[in-house]
């Protein structure tokens, strides 16, 4: 017996095939482009379907497809496409990165207020999310024949089963859904000019959406009638796929942007706008915060100044502690989002001297990003989320040095997994639980999530970084005074 997890991301779809013992058999993928012009960042929604078909066909090569009993999805959130009364797409999907709706976001702030929107939906007002975005779309002649507004999960659920179904984690990303009342928010629908029938039905993650249609079966190579279970937003699937299914767990997705998700028993609303939402595990909530430009800072530096590969860099930065005691980096190359929320702030090296070379600077970047994680962990904990461990995934987790200093800087054990495709794995676990192979996500995690290495805080290194973190914060306070005085 097999299950498939399908991860429909921003530029690529991955499929993962796992057996009933939780072993990953194979992974397939298919990519697609973004269509960009200034603040307009779009995507052809049909590409999500075509890439899903290709990725599924890849993973079932050489197996008896009748043994695939179920599948579920992990999807990007906040990318929206309109459909007409026949279900045909109207134009491209407007993605979660598109900011053309800034005027509508300002209107939303003026009419309902940022605090209302945040406490209803869990998200700070954002022109890329649907409250502002659909308000914008409703004003355009292009969408006169629109009958429904769908995000990625509903598009795929509809293709696979004919049923237009969303889950609460993706609903929250649309900034139209009241996370505590578990329903579409009347005030936000009114602002966007929406009727509830223009939005999909919301069902819990893990509930059966339907059975695979004949056409979808023929195209994917799967059996007609294969069960499809409702999926989740990719960060929540990553939480499941990493085993972050208990209170006190934290997931760190360390890609271009570093995303933290803490797990607790109540929604976390904070002055720093951590984004709470319902976790697929009943009774638990996730809380998300994005450290924008964290991974991108090191990638930028390597592209511009470091011709050596990452392996050489990792070997060199380990040797540089004594030289970099007074060297700091603030990773705000695209402005400061969480927890500062001042886009005028810019990145900076401080303490740079003639003795320093590119490897010293690379180490300072890695430390600066880790200090940002420590500050975020402190914010989570001061708001009631007591972090017991951090599970790290993404490109940065391949660096043992980075994992180790994160453990020492945050005072938390860092768990590195042996599976890279965590979002697709989480979706496969949803399908496995839906089929009854595992009774819950905790049991599924015990079978399917495997830790490769645990990095514990080093006592001597922790003392050193406590001292350096204090200096980092003292200088940061002075930097922020400059920006406030020149705002």
Place of tokens 């951590």: 274
- Residues facing 14 on adjacent strands: 7, 29
Cα–Cα–Cα angle for 55, 57, 62, rounded to 5 degrees: 125
Segment 422-481, tens digit of pLDDT = 999 999 999 999 999 999 999 999 999 999 999 999 999 999 999 999 999 888 777 776
The set of residues, in sequence order, having a beta carbon less than 8 Å from that of 378 and lying 6+ positions away, is none
- pLDDT for the residue 102: 96
Backbone φ, ψ for residue 336 (5° rounding): -100, 115
Round the average pLDDT of the chain to a whole number and report it: 95
The set of residues, in sequence order, having a beta carbon less than 8 Å from that of 456 and lying 6+ positions away, is 407, 413
Give which of 55, 214, 40, 184 is closest to 121, Cα–Cα: 184
Segment 369-383, tens digit of pLDDT = 999 999 999 999 999
Q: How confident is the model at residue 153 (pLDDT cuts 50, 70, 90)?
A: very high
- pLDDT for the residue 335: 86
The set of residues, in sequence order, having a beta carbon less than 8 Å from that of 88 and lying 6+ positions away, is none
Segment 245-255, tens digit of pLDDT = 999 999 999 98
- pLDDT for the residue 218: 97
Residue 243 has pLDDT above 80, yes or no: yes
Average pLDDT over residues 63-86: 96
Dihedral Cα 223, 224, 227, 232, nearest 10 deg: 90
Structure tokens at 379: 């914010």
Average pLDDT over residues 26-37: 94
Q: pLDDT over 70 for what percent of the chain? A: 98
Q: pLDDT over 90 for what percent of the chain? A: 90
* CB-based burial label for 485 (10 Å; 0-12, 13-18, 19+): exposed
Structure tokens at 184: 């579409």
- pLDDT for the residue 420: 83
> What are the Cα distances from residue 396, in Å, to 139, 255, 399, 423?
42, 7, 6, 16
Contact 419, 471 (CB under 8 A): no
Least confident of 240-244, 334-338, 362-366, 396-400: 334-338
Handedness of CA 376, 381, 383, 386 (dihedral sign): positive
Give which of 86, 207, 95 is closest to 151, Cα–Cα: 95
Q: How confident is the model at residue 487 (pLDDT cuts 50, 70, 90)?
A: low
Average pLDDT over residues 220-224: 97
Average pLDDT over residues 201-214: 97
Segment 277-296, tens digit of pLDDT = 999 999 999 999 999 999 99
- pLDDT for the residue 137: 97
The Cα–Cα gap between 266 and 278 comes to 9
Entry pTM: 0.92
Q: Report the 3 state secondary structure along the chain.
A: CEEEEEEECCCEEEEEEEECCCCEEEEEEEECCCEEECCEEEECHHHHHHHHHHHHHHHCCCCCHHHEEEEEEEECCCCEEEECCCCCEEEEEECCCCCCCHHHHHHHHHHHCHHHHHHHHCCCCCCCCHHHHHHHHHCCHHHCCCCEEEEHHHHHHHHHHCCCEECHHHHHHCCCEECCCCEECHHHHHHHCCCHHHCCEECCCCCEEEECCHHHHHHHCCCCCCEEEEEEEHHHHHHHHCCCCCCCEEEEEECCCEEEEEEECCCCCCCCCCEEEECCCCCCEEEEEEECCHHHHHHHHHHHHCCCCHHHHHHHHHHHCHHHCCCEEECCECEECCCCCECCCCCEEECCCCCCCHHHHHHHHHHHHHHHHHHHHHHHHHCCCCCCEEEEECHHHHCHHHHHHHHHHHCCCEEEECCCCHHHHHHHHHHHHHHCCCCCHHHHHHHHCCEEEEECCCHHHHHHHHHHHHHHHHHHHHHHHHHHHCC
> What are the Cα distances from residue 475, in Å, to 327, 328, 470?
11, 9, 9
- pLDDT for the residue 480: 72
Handedness of CA 349, 412, 423, 175 (dihedral sign): negative
Structure tokens at 198: 């223009």
Beta carbons within 10 angstroms of residue 210's beta carbon: 17
Handedness of CA 286, 28, 47, 69 (dihedral sign): negative
Handedness of CA 154, 393, 265, 119 (dihedral sign): negative
Average pLDDT over residues 112-123: 97
The Cα–Cα gap between 196 and 186 comes to 9
Structure tokens at 484: 């406030």
Report strand pairing: 24-31 vs 68-75.
unpaired
Segment 305-362, tens digit of pLDDT = 999 889 999 999 999 999 999 999 999 998 888 988 888 888 999 999 999 999 999 9
């Amino acid at each position: 017996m097999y299950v498939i997890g399908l991860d429909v991301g921003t530029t690529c779809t991955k499929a993962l095939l796992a057996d009933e013992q939780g072993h990953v058999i194979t992974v397939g993928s298919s990519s697609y482009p973004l269509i960009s012009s200034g603040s307009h960042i779009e995507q052809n929604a049909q590409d999500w379907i075509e890439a899903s078909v290709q990725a599924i066909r890849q993973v079932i090569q050489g197996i008896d497809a009748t043994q695939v009993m179920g599948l579920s999805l992990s999807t990007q959130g906040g990318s929206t496409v309109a459909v007409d009364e026949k279900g045909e797409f109207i134009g491209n999907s407007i993605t979660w990165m598109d900011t053309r709706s800034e005027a509508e976001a300002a209107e939303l702030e003026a009419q309902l207020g940022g605090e209302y929107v945040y406490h209803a939906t869990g998200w700070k007002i954002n022109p890329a999310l649907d409250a502002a975005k659909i308000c914008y779309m409703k004003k355009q002649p292009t969408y006169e024949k629109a009958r429904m507004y769908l995000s990625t999960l509903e598009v795929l659920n509809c293709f696979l089963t004919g049923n237009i179904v969303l889950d609460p984690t993706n609903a929250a990303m649309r900034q139209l859904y009241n996370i505590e009342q578990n329903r579409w928010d009347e005030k936000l629908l009114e602002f966007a000019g929406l009727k509830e029938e223009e939005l999909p039905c919301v069902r819990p993650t893990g509930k059966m959406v339907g059975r695979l249609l004949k056409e979808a079966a023929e195209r994917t190579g799967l059996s007609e009638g294969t069960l499809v279970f409702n999926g989740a937003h990719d960060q929540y699937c990553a939480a499941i796929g990493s085993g972050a299914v208990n209170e006190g767990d934290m997931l760190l997705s360390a890609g271009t942007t570093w995303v933290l998700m803490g797990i607790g028993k109540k929604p976390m609303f904070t002055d720093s706008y951590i984004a709470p939402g319902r976790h697929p595990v009943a009774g638990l909530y996730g809380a998300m915060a994005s450290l924008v430009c964290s991974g991108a800072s090191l990638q930028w530096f390597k592209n511009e100044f470091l011709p050596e590969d990452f392996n050489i860099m990792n070997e060199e930065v380990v040797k540089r502690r004594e030289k970099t005691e007074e060297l700091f980096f603030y990773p705000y190359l695209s402005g400061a989002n969480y927890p500062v929320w001042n886009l005028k702030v810019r990145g900076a090296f401080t303490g740079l001297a003639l003795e320093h070379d590119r490897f010293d600077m690379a180490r300072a970047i890695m430390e600066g990003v880790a200090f940002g994680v420590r500050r975020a962990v402190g914010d989570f904990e001061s708001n009631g989320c007591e972090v017991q461990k951090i599970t790290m995934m993404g490109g940065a987790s391949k660096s043992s040095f980075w994992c180790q200093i994160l453990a020492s800087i945050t005072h938390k054990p860092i768990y590195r997994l042996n599976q890279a495709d965590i979002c697709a794995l989480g979706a496969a676990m949803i399908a496995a639980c839906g089929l009854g192979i595992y009774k819950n996500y905790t049991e599924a995690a015990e079978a399917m999530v495997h830790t490769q290495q645990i990095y514990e805080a080093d006592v001597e290194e922790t003392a050193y970084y406590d001292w350096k973190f204090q200096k980092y914060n003292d200088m940061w306070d002075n930097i922020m005074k400059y920006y406030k005085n020149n705002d």
